[in-house]
Structure formats: structure tokens, C-alpha cells
Homo-oligomer: A and B are copies of this chain.
């Protein structure tokens, strides 16, 4: 597995992963039914942000992460990031590799911390991974996410100093 900067032509491979993750209804509060152009606008970051893809040895896109300042202006010293891994590639360390690359990059860029604004509390694999990578849950906003299978569940605000 290789993690590299996303290229414009990765959109064709990533868009189905994005739609699958959103349609699953368990992890992200993005709208359903977005066009490729809308997915590009939401996921493919321009500097100071960055989008990467994880690809296998054959070059197939397994997942992606986007990262950058959580807020502009006087909040731009705190990073944020989002991650999606295709269903077929889960459980093989893709999310962890993307998370580690994000932390490396954010440290190199001089961010003081990383904040995740909305980690679905019932997404236990993600919560466990981020805790393992040094994040703590600052709070859980009650009933803020309408999970397809669990109903309204909380959204964790997670945070890690760099």
C-alpha cells in the first residue's frame, strides 16, 4: 500500500467510495446523491489543505484522507481531517496508515493540534483507531447524528496535540 497526494484523475475511483460511505448512513453527515463535481469540491482540497489516496500495488484506490486547517484566520493553527476507506479494503490498516500520514503531515506543517469535529460515537472502529493514535474525546454532542441503523447517536469532538 502506498499513500500519495491525490490527483484529479483519482476522482473517478474515489467518488464511488464516497457515495458508498455516505449511503451507508453510519459515519458521515454529507448529503446523499452528490455528483462527481460536488464530491471533488467537498473532498479534493487545495492548499493549505491536502488530499491523499491510499492505493494498493496495482494502483487501485483503497481510501482517501483530506486534511487542512479546521478554521481559517485565527483558528488556522489547528488542523482537521476526514477519512474514507472503501468497504472492500476495511480491516487492513488503510485507515491507520492514512491517519499516521495525516499526523506526520500536520506536524511537518506546524499545526499545534488536530481536531475532529464529528466522529460518530457508534463508529467504534474509528473511535478506537483515533484513541490509539493519541486522540481523546473532548465531548460528545448528544443525538447529533442520525445513524441509519442506530437512530440518533452522539458526535464526538476528538482532539490531539502535536
Q: Which of A4-58 touch B at CB < 8 Å?
A: 22, 25, 28-32
A113 at the interface (CB under 8 A from B): yes
Q: Which of A53-70 touch B at CB < 8 Å?
A: 70
Q: Which of A72-104 touch B at CB < 8 Å?
A: 72-78
Give Cα A148–Cα B142 distance, bound, in whole angstroms: 32
Who on chain B is nearest to A120 by CB?
B74
Are A143 and B28 in contact (CB-based, < 8 A)?
no
Are A146 and B71 in contact (CB-based, < 8 A)?
no
Are A72 and B144 in contact (CB-based, < 8 A)?
no
A145 at the interface (CB under 8 A from B): yes
Are A29 and B72 in contact (CB-based, < 8 A)?
yes
Are A141 and B115 in contact (CB-based, < 8 A)?
yes
A112 at the interface (CB under 8 A from B): yes
Q: How far is the CB of A47 from chain B (nearest CB, A)?
A: 14
Give Cα A115–Cα B143 distance, bound, in whole angstroms: 11
| Chain B residues whose CB sits within 8 angstroms of the CB of A157 once the complex forms | 138-139, 141, 157
A155 at the interface (CB under 8 A from B): yes
Considering residues A22, A30, A75, A159, which has the most beta carbons from chain B within 10 angstroms of its beta carbon? A75
Q: List 7 additional contacts besides A29-B75, A78-B141, A141-B159; criterion CB under 8 Å.
A: A28-B74, A30-B73, A77-B146, A77-B152, A112-B152, A113-B143, A117-B117
A-B contact pairs, 12 of them (CB 8 A): A29-B71, A29-B72, A31-B72, A71-B144, A74-B146, A74-B148, A78-B144, A115-B141, A138-B140, A138-B157, A141-B159, A157-B157
